[in-house]
Structure 1
C-alpha cells in the first residue's frame, strides 16, 4: 500500500492519540483515593508506551507504514 507522507503522519498521530486515551484511562482506573498519584502516572505512561508500540507494530505488519 503506497500512502503519502502526510497520510502516514496522520495515521501515526491517530495512534498516538488513541494511546494517550488508553494511558489516561489506565491511570485513572489504577488510582485509589488514599494513595499518592505517582504510581498511577507511571502505570499510565507504561500503558501509553505499550499501546503505541503495539499500534505501530500492527500497522507496520499490515504494510501501512
Structure 2
C-alpha cells in the first residue's frame, strides 16, 4: 500500500495506544493487593512492549507500514 507518511504515523500512534491499554490491563490483573506495585509495573511494561512489537510486525508483514 502506498499510504502517506501522516497516515502511517497515525497507525503507529493507534498501535501504541492500544498497546498502552493492553499493558495497563495486564498490570492491573497481575497486581495482588498486599504485594508491592513494582512487579505489576514491570509486567505491564513487558506486555506493552510485546504487544507493540506484535502489532507493528503484523502491520509490516501486511504491507501497511
TM-score range, shorter chain: over 0.9
The alignment covers a number of residue pairs equal to 65
TM-score, reference length from structure 2 = 1.00
TM-score, reference length from structure 1 = 1.00
CA distance in 2, matches of 1:7, 1:39: 36
Structure 1 residue runs without a partner (length 5+): none
Structure 2 residue runs without a partner (length 5+): none
- The Cα offsets for residues 3-46 of structure 1, whole Å up to 9 and x where unpaired, read as 00000000000000000000000000000100000000000000
Moved segments of 4+, more than 6 Å:
none
What is the aligned-residue RMSD (CA, Å)?
A: 0.2
> Partner of 2:21 in structure 1?
21
